[in-house]
Amino acid sequence: MNKWIFISYVVFLTIFTLFSYLFVDGNLPYLQFLFTDFAFKNRLITTIAYSTLLSLFFGYYFYFIRLVQQKKLSMGNIRLLVIVTIGILLLAYPAMLSYDIFNYITTAKVTYFYHENPYIIMPIEFIHDPLLLFTHAANKIALYGPTWILFSGVPFFLGFGNFLLTLFLFKITAALSFFGVLFLYYKLHKDHMSLVLFAMNPLVLIETLVSGHNDMFVMFLVFLGIFFIQKNKFTGWLLFILSIGVKYATLFLFPIFLLSLFYKNLNKKSFFQLSAIMMFIIFLLSPLREEIYPWYAIWFLPFVFLSGRRLFIILTISLCFGLLLRYIPFMLLGTYLDPTPEIKIIVMVIPVFLAAVSYLLWLKKSFHYYQ
Amino acid sequence: MKHSAFIFILLIVFWISSSTDTLAKSSYVLPYPSVMPGGLSYKVHLIWETINQYWYFGDFGQFEYNLKQSDKYLVEAKTLFEYEQFLLGVDSLKKSDEYFKKAPSHLRQAAKNHKDISIKQKELRTASERHVEVLSQMEKIFPEIIHWIPEKVAPTDLPLHSLLYSSIQIRSNYE
């Protein structure tokens, strides 16, 4: 790997991290000293900067994929890239694109500080609680399953009532889950390409290391389940059931786990392909609950990259780009109302459409070439 | 061709599946009548209620549970009275009173635990007003005393107005 490209990547990640602090909420008393209101007052500049950074992120991603294709990226290089990426992005402001991490903390506070059932009592019922100033879904009961509610006690207690420490402990939880998934990913499928496709994917990195979404914790439990199911069926199934208890989405993997139990000839590739299809279906069904959120892609991404299907992978990467573009309408217009929902769909679909057309043209060209 | 069809279907599904929904919460209202006494399902319902008591842990949780139960039994009592099942109705009314009496104590406990109870106090006040409204209506509709003659058991007099008056007092003077 070129030394200067690596240095430029480190600089890029640092700029991305600093950029995230332009989004610090004015209502967040713990980071008032970093509040500039820049992102909310200079929406056009912020949107252009975000789009540019996003394009650069994907540029580096394609570059790393190319290096793997050319067999110029060693395992040591990948390890270094992952550690550096985690180390830098972990420092980013987590509520740049989503406020979910505040929900995690607030729900944990309802459970472990107020000793109330978060499935019955909403955070908003604790009037004057300082977290209500910046928590966006305070008027909802717990959105996550019991596994997450139980586990969230760990970072919450380790935070010792210090908000910033707790906030970064939740991010560290996401980072550790990511690290765990990568370890198991390589253990299960010793392939550099699928590892880089997943580990360096901008959507995975932004949603896990910047925003600290718990979806990576779900995938960690799933992959740990897959890893154990070959050795100890009980532990494997238990971990899989625990993963369902975080966000319920992995319930869609139940038939695949069951199939692997009765159909011994099901190879790894078929297992991952079927899992990718099932998790993509639940991803598409997510608007039935609310809407397609970019981080939901984490449910199927690891399986798609393990499936080895070229078309799937191309469409998935373009979808990742499209999903991250979904943040742009709100960033630019500052409203969730019309036309934001329509623009969100358009910007999400266009990259997939362009990738599909390019792929078809490439296929057609190759067909003529061979004729 | 196979690829084109796959991509086309994918894009269509993608487009259709992108929508949003909304959330809403109504103001304080009494529930619809639930399962009525007399059948096996009612016994199952009672077991479910007992389990729920533990699910609603915490000061606010217990407050919500007791108030919800009081609401439910009040509606049950009214419905049973309307169907002239006075003996069962009186039992339900007494249950509603007991649950209502417990609710404020959980709020006091919450206050002791440094929780702001002002919204819950308002909720309790609104609930008590609504309960009193329903009980007063019942006082107007139903006779003062009912001479109840059940099967195989000695007849009894049910002083409905006196019971309803006592229920109103519980809700008016809970503080």
Averaged over B76-85, what is the pLDDT? 93
A92, two tokens: 């980013």
Give the CA-trace dihedral at A86, A215, A254, B18, to 10 degrees: -130
DSSP secondary structure of B119-170: HHHHHHHHHHHHHHHHHHHHHHHS-S-EEE--TTS--EEE-HHHHHHHHHHH
Residue ranges making up the domain that contains A108: 3-370
| pLDDT tens track for A111-167 | 999 999 999 999 999 998 999 999 988 999 999 999 999 999 999 999 999 999 999
How distant is the Cα of B109 from the closest Cα of chain A, in angstroms? 12
What sign does the dihedral A198-A202-A207-A209 (CA atoms) show?
A: positive
Residue A125: C-alpha distances to residues A85, B8, B102 (Å): 39, 47, 20
CB atoms within 10 A of CB A28: 20
Q: What is the residue-averaged pLDDT of chain A?
A: 93
Residue A41: Cβ-neighbour burial (10 angstroms; 0-12, 13-18, 19+) = exposed
* Contact call for residues A250 and A299 (beta carbons, < 8 A): yes
How distant is the Cα of B145 from the closest Cα of chain A, in angstroms? 41
DSSP secondary structure of B10-72: HHHHHHHT----------S-PPPP-PPTTSHHHHHHHHHHHHHHHHS-SHHHHHHHHHHHHHH
Residues of A in contact with B59 (CB under 8 A): 115-116
Contact check, Cβ <8 Å, A127/B119: yes
Side chain identity at A184, as an amino acid letter? L
Size of the A and B interface in Cβ pairs below 8 Å: 83
- Quote the pLDDT of residue B19: 41
- Quote the pLDDT of residue A155: 97
A20, two tokens: 């995230």
Query: How many residues make up chain A in this entry?
Result: 371
- Quote the pLDDT of residue A169: 97
CA distance A55 to B39: 66
Contact check, Cβ <8 Å, A120/B55: yes
Residues of B in contact with A126 (CB under 8 A): 115-116
Which of B8, B51, B60, B116 should be substituted to probe chain A, the one whose Cβ sees the most A Cβ atoms within 10 Å?
Answer: B60
A230 DSSP assignment? T
Residues of A in contact with B114 (CB under 8 A): none
Which has more pLDDT, A270 or A14?
A: A14
- Mean pLDDT is lowest, of A5-19, A88-102, B91-105, B142-156, for B142-156
**Chain B interface with A: residues with Cβ < 8 Å:** 3-4, 6-7, 10-11, 13-15, 17-21, 23, 25, 55-61, 64, 113, 115-116, 118-120
| pLDDT tens track for B19-59 | 443 333 336 689 999 889 988 899 999 999 999 999 999 99
Averaged over A51-56, what is the pLDDT? 97
- Quote the pLDDT of residue A204: 98
Nearest CA in chain B to A352: B11
B99, two tokens: 């649950």
User: Is a pLDDT exceeding 60 seen at residue B121?
Assistant: yes
Q: Where are the alpha helices (DSSP H) in chain A?
A: 3-20, 38-41, 43-69, 75-89, 100-112, 146-151, 153-158, 163-188, 192-199, 202-205, 215-229, 233-247, 254-262, 268-285, 301-307, 310-325, 328-333, 340-370
Contact check, Cβ <8 Å, A345/B15: yes
Q: What is the residue-averaged pLDDT of chain B?
A: 85
Q: Which long-range contacts (CB under 8 A, 24 or more apart) does A328-336 make?
A: A328/A47, A328/A50, A328/A51, A331/A39, A331/A43, A331/A46, A331/A47, A331/A50, A332/A43, A332/A44, A332/A47, A333/A43, A334/A40, A334/A43
Considering its fold, how many domains does chain A have in total? 1
Q: Using CB atoms, pick whichever of A127, A139, A286 lies closest to residue B116.
A: A127
Contacts of residue A278, Cβ cutoff 8 Å, sequence gap at least 6: A252, A253, A255, A256
Which has more pLDDT, B147 or A201?
A: A201
